[in-house]
Amino acid sequence: MPDFANAEIATGSPDLTAYRTFLKKLEVGQTVTLPLEEGDTSRKVMRALNSAAAQNNMRITRIQSPNGSVRFRVVSPEKRTVTLTDEAKRVRVEKAKATRAARKQELAQLGNMGMGEVAVSEMATPAPAKSRRQTAASV
């Protein structure tokens, strides 16, 4: 168990002024490749960028990037809304119920055969599809 008596508690948040200033120069649709400085991680930089973007009423989406940099695209601040009809909602619910029932049945059949949950999770998880970029690189 951690030593809570000696915990250091920070009350401030990191200064995002540089991030906010940089993001103000960008427009929707632009893609940015930002090299990382020594000691920075892509996760740390993207968290700071997303926080600064939220403060600027902007949205950014991360794009796959090479090591040593982060890539992102500036997107519309309004999230896309999806309007489903009552019929479409009903169909989704029915499909989800059928999928759960099928998985439960598979698990029961494998359990009867002496196979455990590991076998079901390995069978039910398809391999990730290759992107066009990965497919082109392997050719």
Domain definitions of the chain by residue range: 14-75, 86-127
Task: Give residue 60's pLDDT.
Answer: 95
* C-beta of residue 68 within 8 angstroms of C-beta of residue 58: no
Q: Which residues have C-beta within 8 Å of that of residue 49, sequence separation ≥ 6?
A: 19, 23, 34, 60, 70, 72
Give tens-digit pLDDT for 55-70: 999 999 999 988 899 9
Q: What is the mean pLDDT of the chain?
A: 84
Q: How confident is the model at residue 27 (pLDDT cuts 50, 70, 90)?
A: very high
Asked if pLDDT for residue 82 goes beyond 70, the answer is: yes
